[in-house]
Amino acid sequence: MGFEAVKATHAIVASTLLLAAGCATVLDSATGDLAHNLSAAILNQDDPQTVRDGAPAYLLMLDSFVAGSPDNADMLDAAAQLYAAYAAMFVDDAARAARLTTRSRQYAERALCVRAAAACGLDKASYTDYMKILGKLKKKAVPELYTYAMSSLAYIQANAGEPSALTGLPRVKAALEQMQALDSGYQPVNREHYLAVLDTLRPPAMGGDFEAGQQHFENAMRLSQGRDLSIGVDYADYYARTLYDRELHDRLLREVIHANPVSAGKTLFNTIAQQRARALLASADDYF
């Protein structure tokens, strides 16, 4: 797995583009409605190319909102989410992806710092101090902590060619586990999906915890109730392929391919998940 596995995390990173509530809560009524409607249009689009072409204008709009409200945690959080999701899903150029995810992580850290002063300077903290800082956070900081974990994983993915890339993964996992401890009801599907991928990035012989990973995948699928097709694709890609479980691999992918991708707030990502599922199934004979 190694760095290739980190690169492949684009699907789970991108599936956390949940901006509607974040933007709408921090702006006046007219602008809030615009942000909400734009977010809904992105999430419910069934043509990924349209989003690829149009999303940069939305990034610039969010930059302008942040410039006007530089200490607004909700706006910083929304900007961090979209930058991470766009870079992870649509940007192929490594240098550009690194720039975009750097901005995402900066926005996310600023948002967390605004919400919880104890978290200021989190990126520069040693691992020991990092864990101490996480332990000081309160429930009110959970949304920003979640975005910080997501943007950090996007940053790691974009910088996967750097020797130190994988060293950041334990920090991401620790942030998600602290988020769960503080508020188990916040984004449970995405949290379980993230933890599943993190546990199965590496083969068991290299430290992967596939028993825990499978449980997280099953939890995510149960909580999703079929709305998020990317879970099944990652379950097949990370877990079934690594363990050479062809039967499970093909069953999961066929279920995704034959599912209805249209689901409020998930259509874009489900459409992309089905594209990935077809590609993985087509390559199965060569892999197994």
Per-residue pLDDT reduced to its tens digit, 100-140: 999 999 999 999 999 999 999 998 999 999 999 999 999 99
Look at residues 177, 180, 251, 182 and name the one whose alpha carbon lies nearest to residue 221: 251
Distances (CA, A) of 123 to 106, 126, 271: 9, 8, 34
Which amino acid is present at 193? H
pLDDT surpassing 60 at residue 33 = no
Would you state the pLDDT for residue 221? 97
Say which range, 29-38, 120-129, 163-172, 237-246, has the weakest mean pLDDT: 29-38
Query: What would the mean pLDDT of 275-284 be, rounded to a whole number?
Result: 97
Give pLDDT tens digits for 135-158.
Answer: 999 999 999 999 999 999 888 888
Helices 29-43 and 267-282 pack at an angle, to 10 degrees, of 20
Percent of the chain exceeding pLDDT 90 equals 58
Percent of the chain exceeding pLDDT 70 equals 86
Would you state the pLDDT for residue 36? 54
Would you state the pLDDT for residue 18? 42
Would you state the pLDDT for residue 39? 62
User: How crowded is residue 258: how many other Cβ atoms within 10 Å of its Cβ?
Assistant: 9
Helices 267-282 and 246-257 pack at an angle, to 10 degrees, of 140
Would you state the pLDDT for residue 24? 39
CB burial string 199-232: b at 16+ within 10 A, e below: bbbbeeeeebebeebbebbebbbebbeeebbbbb
Query: What would the mean pLDDT of 202-217 be, rounded to a whole number?
Result: 93
Look at residues 153, 151, 148, 152 and name the one whose alpha carbon lies nearest to residue 137: 148
Residue 34 confidence class, pLDDT cut points 50, 70, 90? low
Q: Tell me if 76 sits within 8 A of 111, measured CB to CB.
A: yes
| Whole-number Å distance between alpha carbons of 222 and 188 | 11
Residue 8 confidence class, pLDDT cut points 50, 70, 90? very low
| Whole-number Å distance between alpha carbons of 113 and 1 | 34
Give pLDDT tens digits for 77-88.
Answer: 888 988 988 888
pLDDT surpassing 90 at residue 181 = yes
Would you state the pLDDT for residue 264? 83
> What size, in residues, is the chain?
288
Query: What would the mean pLDDT of 160-166 be, rounded to a whole number?
Result: 73
Query: What would the mean pLDDT of 67-91 be, rounded to a whole number?
Result: 88
pLDDT surpassing 70 at residue 206 = yes
| Whole-number Å distance between alpha carbons of 277 and 226 | 15
57/18: higher pLDDT:
57
